[in-house]
Chain A
Amino acid sequence: MMGINMKEEKFSAFIDNELDEVEFDEMYSALSSDKDFKRRWQRYHIISDTLQKHLPEKFDCKLADQVMLKLENEPAIFVPEYTSQYDLSPVSTASNATVTTLATKKPFFRQIAGLAVAASVMVVAVFVTQTFVTNNGTTAVAPVASVPSMPAESQFARISVPQPKASSGYQSQLNKYLANHNQYSTSVPGVMPYARIIGYTPDQPQRHSIRQADK
């Protein structure tokens, strides 16, 4: 059995893509059955993406888990297995024995497929939630790409368009409305309304002005 340190080292090498094929397959299996490792795997990637500025403003961490859960609950679809290189007649899928054989023989690939789908959906979730306000007032979605190792700029390149705004005369009026409305914000006690007032830094385009999103 693999010791804890060895497992940690292998996990680290797995994250860094430094394992050979056999070790890589072993770690994939471990990831599929170990919830803690699965969480760490996600966390490491999120940290890595954050440091490399791959992350958009909002994404749903739970989406990958939800996809994994769906896949686990999904009934397995068995592909007929050919018994020999020359015998092309499929083994009967009506046989329980055959089903058992297939189920025990192929779970590894199903798990990999599950992980791969979950990972790619997570990447897609990261992409599709990165929306931008365009100058014609509509909301556009960044193009979807799904190769995690691509440079950040090519995957998450922001659409650089001028932010449409309300007329300058009306913007100051909107700001007064926002400050006034904060006095009636009854939802949760605490500092949120006041943090909102002072929380906009000068380099942000929406400081003391609000962006027109759409109609």
Chain B
Amino acid sequence: MKFSYKALLLVVVPVISWASDSSMEALELLKKMYSAPQTLNYQGTFVYSHDGKIESMKIFHSVGTEGERERLFHLNGSAREVVREQNLVTCVLADNKSVMVNKSRGDENVFLSLPKNFDSLKNHYSFVLGDDDRIAGRHTKTVLVDPRDDFRYGHKLWIDAETGLLLSSELLNEQNMTVERIMFTELEIVDKISDDLLKPTVSGEKFTWHKEMADEGVVEPGASSWAVTNMPEGFSASRHHVRHESNKSNSIEHIVLSDGLASVSIYVEQLVEENSKFIGASFMGAVNVYGAVVDDHQVTVVGEVPRATVKMIASSVENVDLF
């Protein structure tokens, strides 16, 4: 039988076209998912599962002239709340008698820049449209973000077909097992959220307040003696800052690496006490941590990436001044 290239094209072209369509539709859904919270008022209950535990939480989300405002709180145990408004994130932890205040950097989300950086992202991830599903009684479309190597996590996202809201997400490790999951069990889109519902119920009086490490500024290329000499392909430094803690005299160098989707932070600080060393691996849910000591400095690498990735990066941090 004579081999027909035309026949082959008839099969291959539609398959490639379908794959491309699937990726583009997945991409469109991701963009819709990012913009949905910027236009919708909603309230709901969701569960957060990690390390074999399930936590139940409530969320109120409002959009107004002052931008997005949000309050989410734990439904069980002592009061633990997060309030996001304008550019501040306030975490109130009643059982810990502490309040943490950080700046919000929500506008730096990767999906804002899609599809501009899609070409570089697709070298390391595939974006595939999955099956339709139902979450919290609502019709959802699913998107699978699958890493092409074992140095990054995958994502499965359930996106509300009507509004684009992210109703469920799973973070998948290198064995394709779920490390963390968020899932709405009830969601209500409303016209308005009352201001009272956006205020924390815990005043924070007599609590210890922790403010974000003060940013002393950007480290210009070549101005730092610290360098990361080995990292997985696709990662590059997206930030290099010097930070300062109010109760410490030493500064902390903070380098952020990103592949466009996953991010890893590297903190380098002078080792003050011998017993405050941290060497080795730790984890909290999907966040892996690896500590190393280099030239009397504590190096700590933190990221939502597999342990092998934080270990590789931590092991490659060098004080280039020595050479």
Q: Is chain B a partner of chain A in the same complex?
A: yes
Q: Which residues of A contact B (CB under 8 A)?
A: 56-58, 60, 129, 137, 166-167, 169-170, 173-174, 176-192, 194-202, 204, 206, 208, 210-215
The tally of CB-CB contacts under 8 A between chains A and B is: 184
- Chain B positions 99-156 with a Cβ under 8 Å from a chain A Cβ: 100, 102-106, 108-111, 153, 155
CA gap between A26 and B256 in the complex, in Å: 61
Indicate if the CB atoms of B278 and A167 lie closer than 8 Å.
yes
A174-B278, A213-B283 in contact; A198/B80 too (CB < 8 A)?
yes
Q: Is B263 in the interface zone, CB < 8 Å from A?
A: yes
CA gap between A204 and B51 in the complex, in Å: 10
- Chain B positions 31-77 with a Cβ under 8 Å from a chain A Cβ: 33-34, 37, 46, 48, 50-53, 55, 57, 59, 72-74, 76-77
A187-B155, A194-B84, A197-B82 in contact; A179/B276 too (CB < 8 A)?
no
- Chain B positions 236-269 with a Cβ under 8 Å from a chain A Cβ: 239, 243, 245, 254, 256, 258, 261-263, 265, 267
Indicate if the CB atoms of B282 and A211 lie closer than 8 Å.
yes
Q: Which one of B59, B263, B280, B282 lies within 8 Å of A184 (CB-CB)?
A: B263
* Number of B positions contacting A (CB below 8 A): 84
CA gap between A170 and B102 in the complex, in Å: 20
Indicate if the CB atoms of B278 and A199 lie closer than 8 Å.
no
In the complex, identify which listed stretch (B3-11, B187-195, B224-232, B300-308) lies at the interface while the others stay far away.
B300-308
Indicate if the CB atoms of A183 and B276 lie closer than 8 Å.
no
Indicate if the CB atoms of A198 and B263 lie closer than 8 Å.
no
Q: A184-B239, A191-B182 given. 8 additional CB < 8 A pairs?
A: A58-B177, A170-B298, A174-B300, A183-B103, A188-B157, A190-B37, A194-B72, A202-B78
On chain A, the residues within 8 Å of B100 by CB distance are 179, 197
* Residue of A whose beta carbon sits closest to that of B168: A190
| Among A56, A178, A187, A198: residue with most chain B CB under 10 A | A187
Indicate if the CB atoms of A177 and B34 lie closer than 8 Å.
no
Indicate if the CB atoms of A179 and B80 lie closer than 8 Å.
no
A-B contact pairs, 12 of them (CB 8 A): A169-B273, A170-B276, A173-B276, A184-B256, A187-B110, A190-B169, A195-B55, A208-B96, A212-B280, A212-B282, A215-B280, A215-B281
| Among B46, B76, B153, B289: residue with most chain A CB under 10 A | B289
CA gap between A201 and B53 in the complex, in Å: 10
Indicate if the CB atoms of A190 and B213 lie closer than 8 Å.
no
Indicate if the CB atoms of B265 and A177 lie closer than 8 Å.
yes
